[in-house]
Structure 1
Amino acid sequence: MNNPARKEPLVQKKPLVHVRDVSKHFGEGETRVDALRDVSLEVHPGQVVALLGPSGSGKTTLLNVVGCIMEPNNGWISLDDEVVYDGRWLRSDLRKLRLEKIGFIFQAHNLLPFLNSTDNVAVVLNLAGYNTAEAKKRAVELLDYLEVGHRKEAMPANLSGGEAQRVAIARALANRPRIILADEPTAALDSQRAGIVMDLLRKVAEEQEAAILAVTHDEKIFDRFDHIFHLRDGRLETENA
């Protein structure tokens, strides 16, 4: 779905997410389930793209494969102009690959309840090797960028649903990944807060030339996507633009 008020995605550049002929099955013989069947898709810098489909269609499996959490059975995957899978993983340290290239956003914010907003973001940077002062500075910058800097000292229990999700987005952006994978990021939010979160993701996509791929059933945000891919029984059936 196109929104004429948006900037055109930077489609002349190479895709940040490029998946080709990826398949994934579970089990063998009579118990085999084909979760993904020869799936190919591209997401370019500046694009916000949705994955739709009924329960069991393969949406979360595809997100986990793109996120290098789950290994496919065959296919080819390039992330940020690096081929990371070609019949096998081409990186030995997938944790480092995820830390370098990918930010994850989930339906539940999964903030650590014993850390305030700043420290929930900074902890990711500490794991990446930042010292405490650098990590906190970057965390506050991100919270300000996402318009929740005034809640930088708040504990998760004292944040609204929308505020907590924005802190979670800040955490996902901490290491400056250009690929954001979101699993039902607005399902727990009302229409107004869902719109705010999607506007923030749009801002990230356009200003940081990021690619955002989101699994969603949330009809109230369908008009916020550049493209909608439909999965059914593991196959990518159609694409709406």
Structure 2
Amino acid sequence: MSDDSRRVIVDIKGVAKHYGDGDARVDALRNLDLSVHAGEVVALLGPSGSGKTTLLNIIGCIIGCIIDPSEGQVSLDGEMVFDGKWLRGDLRRLRLDKIGFIFQAHNLLPFLNATDNVALVLQLAGKTAAQAQARAQELLDYLEVRHRARAMPALLSGGEAQRVAIARALANSPRIILADEPTAALESMRAGIVKDLLRKLASEQDACIIAVTHDENILDRFDRLFHLRDGRLENDKGDKP
């Protein structure tokens, strides 16, 4: 394993998130520490309301009065982005450059074909149309779905649509990939294929992948499992599956 592959990509210290005050206060996250290295695929586990999605949104720099951390530090790819307040003026650019999102629903734009769904992200990041199309085709080929490059989302199978969504998440070669129940809409065999694919991506793209999941059948494909309950990590370093 190279030195770079042990680099900490996501580093969270003392992060808390609460809503309201006094007797009405609700603590979604409580003094949470978490570090994830390049090349790692880790899972966030826990019951509904345990803080998994809140944590994923904070790592993804989804800002607003509802999502902003109440306290703590967040460092992404070596850059401190939150220390009691957001330190980056343009978090949209940070998300475009460093973070890829994969969701339970693929969220492909229904009026764009598979290639254009991927290329759009690249054009938003400043690539020319030709550069965006070339990179999109490259990613669809890498994910073995190039034969569906011109298909509209409504004509893709669930597995094909999820691969296109993963290609879109990889468009700008992010160091951080956040996945929220990425296999929930897939049957077990395809869910396993997607998880194997995520492991391949972490290794070959030198990225870290953090996934929220309830699918116990794929837990052995993660490097570490982090269990959240009532906004706290029950294990600080993560269990080996």
So what's the TM-score if we normalise by structure 1?
0.94
For 1:96, the equivalent position in structure 2 comes to 93
Corresponding letter in the other structure for 2:191: A
Corresponding letter in the other structure for 1:45: A
Runs of 4+ in 1 over 4 A off after TM superposition: 8-12
RMSD, aligned α-carbons: 1.3
Whole-Å Cα distance in 2 between the matches of residues 31 and 233 of structure 1? Answer: 16
Corresponding letter in the other structure for 2:239: N
Whole-Å Cα distance in 1 between the matches of residues 122 and 188 of structure 2? Answer: 32
For 2:70, the equivalent position in structure 1 comes to 73
Whole-Å Cα distance in 2 between the matches of residues 10 and 40 of structure 1? Answer: 23
Corresponding letter in the other structure for 2:16: S
Residues 136-158 of structure 1 deviation map (CA, whole Å, 9 limit, x = unaligned):
00000000011111110111011
Equivalent positions of 1:161-200 (< 5 A) are 161-200=158-197
For 2:131, the equivalent position in structure 1 comes to 134
- 2:177 aligned counterpart, secondary structure: strand
| 1:232 paired residue among 229, 233, 240 | 229
Residues 112-151 of structure 1 deviation map (CA, whole Å, 9 limit, x = unaligned):
0111100000011111111111100000000001111111
- 1:240 aligned counterpart, secondary structure: coil
Residues 206-231 of structure 1 deviation map (CA, whole Å, 9 limit, x = unaligned):
00110000000011111110000000
| Contact preservation (8 Å) 2:5, 2:206 | no
Q: 1:55 to 1:9 in 2, by over 3 A?
A: farther
- 2:8 aligned counterpart, secondary structure: coil
**Corresponding position: 1:203 with 2:197:** no
| 1:29 paired residue among 1, 10, 22 | 22
| Contact preservation (8 Å) 1:51, 1:216 | yes
Q: 1:154 to 1:9 in 2, by over 3 A?
A: farther
| Contact preservation (8 Å) 1:10, 1:44 | no
Corresponding letter in the other structure for 1:240: D
So what's the TM-score if we normalise by structure 2?
0.94
| Contact preservation (8 Å) 1:11, 1:44 | no
| 1:47 paired residue among 40, 45, 49 | 40
| 1:116 paired residue among 113, 118, 134 | 113
Residues 18-55 of structure 1 deviation map (CA, whole Å, 9 limit, x = unaligned):
00110000111121110000110111010000000000
Residues 141-196 of structure 1 deviation map (CA, whole Å, 9 limit, x = unaligned):
00001111111011101111011000000000001101000000001101111011
| Contact preservation (8 Å) 1:10, 1:46 | no
Whole-Å Cα distance in 1 between the matches of residues 90 and 159 of structure 2? Answer: 34
| Contact preservation (8 Å) 1:9, 1:44 | no
Corresponding letter in the other structure for 2:190: R
Whole-Å Cα distance in 1 between the matches of residues 32 and 69 of structure 2? Answer: 11
Whole-Å Cα distance in 2 between the matches of residues 13 and 115 of structure 1? Answer: 38
Unaligned runs of at least 5 residues, structure 1: 1-7
| Contact preservation (8 Å) 1:101, 1:178 | yes
| Count of aligned pairs between the two proteins | 234
**Corresponding position: 1:144 with 2:137:** no
Whole-Å Cα distance in 1 between the matches of residues 137 and 190 of structure 2? Answer: 21
